[in-house]
């Protein structure tokens, strides 16, 4: 248990670390949210209509940013060897790494998401739902993203490859989360979208580490 705690502390420190992982992600997110009104036009009615969806897509893109550092650094400097040669199953190690990624990137982005949505013109009462969706969605992004990061280990320009592998896996959470937000705004039942989002996140929290561990072992051999 102390071993996993130490790993979580290390991974979170590395993700927060110098170079500012979460700051970069949140900054990128702010940039996307600022760019949208400039491209689409400043009419409040039009912006308000797309605000929840735009906030949600920006979140998915910002979540991609720091994924390439998740396994790549440990692979390149040999730390992954030492992480593998341990009584802790590699699957659990991968899960802890993704959880730390969520703490360091997903949680700050979830705090930024309601701000972005409201800045784009979404009603104030949408903010709590945006936050909850972003928090759960961030978990799904971290654990699906980990699969892409592990699969692209050792590839040249792995970050780009990660994005190509991972974006299709981001489709369901984007649909479920965006759907829940749109239904809430339209006064329709919105819980089903949130529940599906939670189910998707839970499935990948459970299954993702199996794929990641297999991909890591393959990359090392």
Partner 1 sequence: MIIALDLRGVAVRRGGRSLFCGLSLSLTAGEACALTGANGAGKTSLLRAVAGLVPLEDGEIGFGDVEAGEARGGGLHLIGHQDGLKPARTTREELDFWSVWSGGDKASALAAAESLDLIGLLDLEVRRLSAGQRRRLALARLLAAPRGLWLLDEPLSPLDASWRARFGAMMQAHLAGGGLILAAVHDPLPITARTLEIGA
Binders of partner 1 among residues 75 to 104 (CB under 8 A) are 76-88
Residue 86, Cα to own-chain centre: how many angstroms?
28
- Per the CB < 8 A criterion, the answer to whether 165 and 152 are in contact is yes
- The whole-angstrom separation of Cα 15 and Cα 9 is 10
Cα–Cα dist 86/118, whole Å: 47
User: How far apart are CB 138 and partner 1 at their closest, in Å?
Assistant: 25
Beta strands in the chain (DSSP E): none
Can residue 3 be called a binding residue for partner 1 (CB under 8 A)?
yes
Angle at 155 between CA 151 and CA 159, to 5 degrees: 75
- Binders of partner 1 among residues 17 to 56 (CB under 8 A) are 17-18
Minimum gap (Å) between residue 158 Cβ and partner 1? 17
DSSP helix/strand/coil, 24: helix
Q: Contact, 50 vs 126, CB < 8 A?
A: no
Residue number, 89 or 123, with CB nearest to partner 1: 89
Quick one: 3 or 46, whose CB is closer to partner 1? Answer: 3
Among residues 12, 14, 97, 98, the one that binds partner 1 under rule CB under 8 A: 14
Under rule CB under 8 A, residue 156 binds partner 1: no
- How far is residue 205's CA from residue 200's CA, in Å, rounded to a whole number? 9
Query: Quick one: 12 or 63, whose CB is closer to partner 1?
Result: 12
Give the x/- contact pattern for partner 1 in 201-220, rule: CB under 8 A: -------------------x
Stretch that binds partner 1, among 4-12, 55-63, 129-137, 199-207 (CB under 8 A): 4-12
User: Which distant-in-sequence residues (6+ apart) come within 8 Å of 3 by Cβ?
Assistant: 86, 88
The answer for residues whose C-beta is within 8 angstroms of residue 41's C-beta and 6 or more apart is 47
From the CB of 76, what's the least distance to partner 1, in Å? Answer: 8
Burial of 21 (0-12, 13-18, 19+ CB in 10 A): buried
Minimum CB separation of residue 73 from partner 1 in Å reads 8
For the bound state, the minimum distance from the C-beta of residue 152 to partner 1, rounded and expressed in Å, comes to 19
Tell the smallest beta-carbon distance from residue 20 to partner 1 (Å).
Answer: 12
**CB-wise, 98 or 166, nearer to partner 1?**
98
Where on the chain is the footprint of partner 1 (CB under 8 A)? 2-3, 6-7, 9-10, 13-14, 17-18, 73-74, 76-88, 220-221
């Amino acid at each position: 248990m102390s071993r996993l705690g130490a790993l979580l502390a290390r991974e979170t420190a590395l993700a927060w670390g110098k170079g500012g992982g979460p700051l970069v992600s949140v900054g990128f997110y702010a940039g996307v949210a600022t760019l949208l009104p400039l491209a689409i036009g400043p009419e409040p009615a039009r912006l308000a209509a797309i605000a929840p969806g735009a906030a949600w897509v920006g979140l998915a893109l910002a979540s991609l940013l720091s994924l390439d550092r998740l396994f790549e650094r440990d692979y390149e400097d040999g730390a992954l060897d030492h992480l593998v040669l341990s009584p802790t199953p590699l699957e659990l190690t991968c899960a802890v790494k993704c959880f730390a990624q969520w703490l360091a990137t997903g949680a700050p982005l979830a705090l930024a998401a309601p701000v972005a949505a409201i800045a784009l013109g979404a009603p104030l009462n949408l903010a709590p739902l945006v936050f909850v969706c972003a928090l759960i969605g961030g978990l799904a992004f971290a654990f699906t993203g980990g699969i892409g990061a592990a699969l692209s280990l050792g590839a040249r320009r792995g970050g780009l490859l990660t994005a190509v592998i991972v974006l299709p896996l981001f489709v369901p959470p984007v649909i479920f989360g965006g759907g829940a937000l749109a239904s809430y705004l339209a006064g329709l039942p919105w819980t089903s979208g949130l529940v599906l989002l939670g189910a998707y996140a839970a499935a990948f929290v459970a299954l993702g580490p199996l794929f990641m561990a297999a991909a890591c072992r393959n990359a090392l051999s």
